[in-house]
């Protein structure tokens, strides 16, 4: 189908109307924009402040939890790692040295300590691992040795925590690195041992966050007015799978929140929200009432009217373009048969034919072109009648097979030699109420379409069957078929599908007339995919064969 842009040649009045619509839309948008800005001025400031408070509180929670973790690790392990060895060959104290200082810190059981906590010392010089407490399994010993050997090699590392073997493990390593000050075979400050203990992962994650949330101020004093965190904020903690494992106020609503990640080994995500009531407690201004919904509704109405106007203009321009193309194509279609009729008529009139065979060929050409001209005029007149609602169909029950044979005979008698061959497969018992003239025009238009878009010498298949109470007339050609993107448009008037890069000759009314006539019979027409060519199927309500003789 020809796809010329509908905006290529706007008339002056259409351009003026388009400009006015755009101006109205722009003014309505400007008024609405200014109203929005005025109504939102205080609200934006308040929301920005509340959002910043939630963001500040979340980062403050992570920062204070990290600081507290570092302080507790230092307090628990400094008895073994606080001073450097004077030589890499110094004798190392046993893990017993950290038992007393580590006992009250980073406990799994907040109420009673961890009596079965495993303490260890890893000698980096020979890889030996000494433990105190419960017996470590071979897997635990290998994990402690491999993990801490790698951790000790990281530059600047003094204390740290490491999660278990995988995300499902509930254990975590808390360790501190002991360095040597001097040595013949090691650089000053080289690590020689790692001291630490095993604790549960929650001790360095969830429990630490809970303690900080309860005991530390997460908002500045000037903002919070000394109110506790729980009255202003909500804390929700998620595990690595995104499941909520803790909520300080289950079910409490918050308007603004911020989510941050807590580094391994905790592997948690922390969400701090500002309670609904926090705005009044923090003396944040409340959004004033406004007529913003009404202004937005007026803007939407203006935009809708402008869109309708633009759509209508586009449709009118497209229709004008299609009518112009139709006039041009019909003029060409009329000229071609008229020129042929005139040429061969003059040949006969001036007796230029040399023998009876040439005179017969000239007469046949005149008849063919006259029938072609008649079909074109019939389509135009039929479309005009359909547009005015004057189709005047008078369906009568009839056997379709004899009617189709008569139409095919008439068409083949006037078709140029070698144009096509027709193969039929007709069910003699199929009948339907049809208007004889309309049925003839439907089938002739489909055959004419097959000739236009199919190769010379093709075989066109015409079949008649009955299925699901419908009489189905199928016309299948061996052409290139209809492109997928064009299938929704081929039934529109004045539309012609492109063939080999050029617009096919014709009025563009054939298939539109077919569809209207078929629907006038209470049926439908469709285009089905075919391995080769296009396959049009006309479905008409079937009926019982008539009892009286049928005109053939």
pLDDT band at 15 (very low <50, low <70, confident <90, very high): low
Q: Residue 511: its pLDDT value, please?
A: 83
Nearest to 446, CA basis, from 413, 422, 470: 422
CA distance 127 to 495: 85
Alpha carbon separation from 151 to 124, 147, 155, 406, 451 (Å, rounded): 11, 6, 9, 95, 82
Determine phi and psi for 388, rounding to 5 degrees.
-90, 0
What whole-number distance in Å separates Cα of residue 333 and Cα of residue 340? 11
Going by their DSSP bridges, the two strands 119-123 and 128-132 should be labelled as antiparallel
Mean pLDDT of the chain: 79
Closest CA to 134 of 119, 145, 113: 119
Mean pLDDT of 70-95: 89
Task: Provide the percentage of residues in the chain whose pLDDT is more than 70.
Answer: 77
Of 106, 126, 129, nearest in space to 117 by CA: 106
Q: How confident is the model at residue 2 (pLDDT cuts 50, 70, 90)?
A: very low
Q: Report CA-CA distances (Å) from 297 to 20, 34, 294, 437.
A: 20, 15, 5, 54
Spell out a b/e string for 315-334, using b for 16 or more CB atoms within 10 Å of the CB, else e. Answer: eebeeebbeebbeebbeebe
Chain-centroid distance, C-alpha 196 = 53
Q: Does residue 397 have a pLDDT over 50?
A: yes
- Give residue 148's pLDDT: 92
- Pick 439 or 292 by higher pLDDT: 439
Q: Taking 50 as the threshold, does the pLDDT of residue 1 lie above it? A: no
| Domains of the chain, first to last | 10-285 (no CATH), 392-541 (3.30.565.10)
DSSP 303-369: HHHHHHHHHHHHHHHHHHHHHHHHHHHHHHHHHHHHHHHHHHHHHHHTT---SHHHHHHHHHHHHHH
Span 185-224, pLDDT tens digits: 445 578 999 999 998 888 888 889 999 999 999 988 888 8
Evaluate the CA torsion angle 451, 452, 455, 457 in order and state its sign: positive
Do residues 430 and 401 make contact, with C-beta atoms less than 8 angstroms apart? yes
- Separate counts of helices (H) and strands (E) for the chain: 12, 18
pLDDT given at position 270: 92
Task: State pLDDT tens for residues 129-168.
Answer: 999 988 888 988 999 999 999 988 888 888 888 876 555 5
Average pLDDT over residues 15-32: 70
Q: Beta strands of 164-250 (E only): which ranges?
A: 171-180, 190-200, 233-238, 244-247
Question: Tell me: the pLDDT tens digits for 476-532?
Answer: 888 877 877 777 778 776 666 655 444 455 556 778 888 888 888 889 998 886 667
pLDDT in tens, 33-80: 776 676 667 677 777 888 888 899 999 999 999 999 999 999 999 999
Sign, CA torsion 545/547/551/552:
positive
Higher pLDDT, 296 or 259: 259
Mode of pairing for the β-strands spanning 396-399 and 431-434: antiparallel
Residue 9 has pLDDT above 50, yes or no: no
CB 542 within 8 A of CB 401: no
Asked if the model's pLDDT at residue 436 lies above 60, the reply is yes
């Amino acid at each position: 189908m020809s796809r010329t842009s509908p905006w290529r040649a706007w008339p002056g009045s259409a351009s003026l109307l388009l400009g006015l619509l755009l101006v109205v839309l722009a003014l309505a948008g400007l008024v609405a924009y200014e109203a929005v800005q005025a109504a939102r001025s205080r609200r934006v400031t308040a929301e920005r402040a509340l959002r910043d408070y939630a963001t500040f509180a979340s980062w403050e929670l992570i920062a204070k939890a990290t600081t507290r973790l570092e302080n507790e690790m230092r307090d628990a392990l400094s008895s073994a790692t606080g001073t450097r060895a004077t030589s890499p060959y110094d004798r190392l104290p046993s893990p017993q040295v950290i038992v007393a200082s580590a006992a009250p810190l980073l406990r799994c059981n907040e109420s009673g300590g961890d009596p079965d906590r495993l303490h260890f010392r890893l000698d980096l010089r020979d890889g030996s691992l000494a433990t105190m407490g419960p017996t470590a399994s071979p897997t635990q010993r290998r994990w402690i040795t491999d993990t801490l050997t790698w951790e000790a090699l990281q530059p600047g590392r003094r204390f740290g925590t490491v999660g278990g073997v995988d995300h499902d493990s509930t254990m975590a390593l808390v360790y501190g690195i002991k360095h040597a000050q001097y040595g013949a075979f090691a650089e000053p400050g080289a690590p020689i041992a790692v001291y630490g203990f095993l604790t549960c992962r929650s001790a360095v994650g969830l429990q630490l966050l809970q303690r900080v949330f309860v005991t530390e101020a997460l908002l500045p004093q000037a903002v919070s007015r000394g109110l506790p965190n729980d009255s202003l904020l909500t804390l929700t903690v998620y595990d690595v799978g995104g499941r909520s494992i803790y909520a300080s106020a289950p079910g409490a609503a918050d308007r603004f929140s911020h989510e941050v990640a807590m580094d391994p080994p905790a592997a948690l995500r922390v969400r701090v929200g500002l309670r609904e009531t926090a705005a009044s407690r923090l003396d944040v201004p409340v959004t004033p009432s406004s007529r913003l919904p009404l202004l937005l509704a007026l803007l939407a109405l203006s935009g809708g009217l402008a869109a309708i106007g633009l759509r209508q203009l586009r449709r009118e321009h497209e229709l004008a373009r299609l009518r112009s193309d139709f006039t041009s194509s019909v003029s060409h279609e009329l000229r071609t048969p008229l020129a042929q009729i005139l040429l061969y008529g003059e040949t006969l009139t001036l007796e230029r034919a040399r023998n009876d065979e040439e005179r017969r060929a000239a007469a046949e050409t005149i008849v063919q072109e006259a029938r072609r001209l008649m079909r074109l005029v019939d389509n135009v007149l039929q479309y005009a009648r359909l547009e005015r609602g004057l189709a005047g169909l008078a369906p009568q029950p009839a056997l379709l097979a004899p009617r189709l044979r008569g139409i095919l005979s008439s068409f083949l008698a006037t078709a140029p030699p070698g144009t096509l061959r027709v193969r039929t497969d007709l069910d003699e018992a199929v009948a339907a109420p049809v208007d004889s003239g309309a049925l003839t025009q439907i089938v002739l238009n489909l055959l004419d379409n097959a000739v236009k878009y199919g190769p010379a010498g093709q075989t066109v298949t015409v079949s008649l069957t009955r299925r699901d109470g419908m009489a189905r007339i199928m016309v299948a050609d061996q052409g290139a078929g209809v492109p997928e993107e064009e299938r929704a448009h081929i039934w529109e008037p004045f539309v012609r599908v492109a063939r080999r890069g050029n617009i096919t000759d014709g009025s563009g009314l054939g298939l539109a007339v077919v569809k209207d006539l078929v629907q006038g019979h209470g049926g439908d027409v469709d285009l089905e995919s075919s391995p080769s060519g296009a396959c049009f199927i006309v479905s008409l309500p079937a009926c019982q064969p008539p009892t009286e003789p049928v005109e053939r």
